[in-house]
Chains A and B, each alone.
Chain A
Amino acid sequence: AQRVTQPEKLLSVFKGAPVELKCNYSYSGSPELFWYVQYSRQRLQLLLRHISRESIKGFTADLNKGETSFHLKKPFAQEEDSAMYYCALSKNSGGSNYKLTFGKGTLLTVNP
């Protein structure tokens, strides 16, 4: 079974400091990993996906298969980054069984 673990429920940093939100996964096959974000009073939305290898709003995430991790990083946090962040995993084996499994989320607070 696939599982996603976000060890930190809460993370607080100061503006301008680096931030890393941890995500570890458990899946025997080849996974596809995502980060979703929910800002205050907004819908949950996709932030980035590992296959795109892109930087969104200054955030990056690298899939480390050896450590089964997909940590989200930003070198200089901004106050507007304060939100709930969810790491998610899906199978990448084709077919119709494409179920997205989420971690429990990390609430990031960036203090001025």
Chain B
Amino acid sequence: GAGVSQSPSNKVTEKGKDVELRCDPISGHTALYWYRQSLGQGLEFLIYFQGNSAPDKSGLPSDRFSAERTGGSVSTLTIQRTQQEDSAVYLCASSLELDWGRNSPLHFGNGTRLTVT
């Protein structure tokens, strides 16, 4: 079956512009994560959606970052007024909730490489 799909795969934007990154999780996966991967910083947690619970937004670096998950499926990460330090690979992952509220391992997408010029 299809894995986690992210689009676009590459995005180059000018400083100050807004960007939208999309994630299609694996069908039936209730948990969805956004991470940012950059050299020297490793894998940085951004936001986590789990079923109908309120999302955990504790990793968003500033109020320029926001994310939505519509209908418990597709998610969009929006970065407003992009800055050069936002340049990174943005990874989406999903997982299936097992019994007792635990999740199965994460399935990652290929990521969106964002370059802010």
Task: Point out residues on A near B: beta carbons under 8 Å.
Answer: 6, 9, 32, 34, 36, 43-46, 49, 86, 90, 92, 94-105
Contact call B102/A43, Cβ cutoff below 8 A: no
Task: Point out residues on B near A: beta carbons under 8 Å.
Answer: 3, 31, 33, 35, 40-43, 45, 48, 50-51, 53, 56, 91, 93, 97, 100-103, 105-106, 108-110
Chain A residues with CB under 8 A of B108 = 43-45
Q: Which listed residue, B35, B40, B50, touches A98 by the CB 8 Å rule?
A: B50
The total number of A-B Cβ pairs within 8 Å is 58
Contact call A49/B102, Cβ cutoff below 8 A: no
Contact call A96/B35, Cβ cutoff below 8 A: no
Q: A104 vs B101: C-alpha distance in the bound complex, in angstroms?
A: 26
Contact call B91/A44, Cβ cutoff below 8 A: yes
